[in-house]
Amino acid sequence: MLKLFVCVVQRDLVLALRRRSDLFAMLSFFILVVLLFPLGVGPEPAQLKSIAPGIVWVAALLASTLAQNRLFALDYADGTLEQMLLIPEPTSVLVLAKVLAHWLVSGLPIVLLSPLIGVQFGLSGDALVVLFFSLLTGTPVLSLIGAIGSALTLGLRGAGVLVSILTLPLMIPVLIFGAGAVGSDASRADLQLLGGLLAGSLALAPWVTGVALRISLE
């Protein structure tokens, strides 16, 4: 299982690097959303500092939805996904490998950019650390939830819109706890709740996604 896991992660990373335009589009969207918010709410430093965590988290959530529908779509289109599901290993291992590769390409760059974005809004050093760890804990949950939506809408017309409709309500708790952790007296509790969501998603999402994939392919 470990060999399968590593091979799938390496394969998806190589394919993602060949489609650098998708990565560039997602990061550009994230950066543009964050930069445009100050133009809409005004240049007041205190106001920007107070809403910065929410801005970064909303931008991260919206950016992550751009790549969710392509998590299984390309493998489904060329028949690779059907061959993968014939492997005599748990489908959840395959799903978890693909989700990890997806997060390394779409979630990790956002996490690494978050301190620079936070400095732009005048966040303190402690707030930057909390923002970084909240995104590091929360963005994998977004990828795991997105995998469920992507599997359920596999092969459907307008799958991108359907994935967003299905997954965005499930991502609201992640958004609330992630944004609330920064600058809050209960930041430790919010981070622990994010950790709980991550643990629950790791336990349930790969299995649910595997079942959804088999249903979609039948």
The pLDDT tens digits of the residues spanning 81-114 come to 888 777 777 888 888 989 999 899 888 999 999 8
Place of tokens 């809408």: 153
Residue 3 pLDDT: 83
Average pLDDT, the chain: 84
The alpha carbon of 92 is separated from its chain's Cα centroid by a whole number of angstroms, namely 18
| CA-wise closest residue to 1 among 91, 121, 79, 104 | 91
Two tokens at 68?
Answer: 């969710």
The pLDDT tens digits of the residues spanning 132-151 come to 999 999 999 999 998 888 88
Residue 200 pLDDT: 92
How many percent of the chain have pLDDT more than 70? 95
Residue 140 pLDDT: 93
Place of tokens 């919010």: 190
Residue 194 pLDDT: 92
Residue 160 pLDDT: 66
Look at residue 20 and tell me whether its pLDDT is greater than 70: yes
Between 200 and 37, whose confidence is greater?
A: 200
Residue 111 pLDDT: 92
When computed from its CA atoms, the radius of gyration of the chain, rounded to whole angstroms, is 18
Q: Give the type of residue at 93.
A: V
Residues 147-170, mean pLDDT to the nearest whole number: 79
The pLDDT tens digits of the residues spanning 58-76 come to 888 888 888 777 788 778 8
- pTM here is 0.88
Between 171 and 16, whose confidence is greater?
A: 171
Residue 158 pLDDT: 62
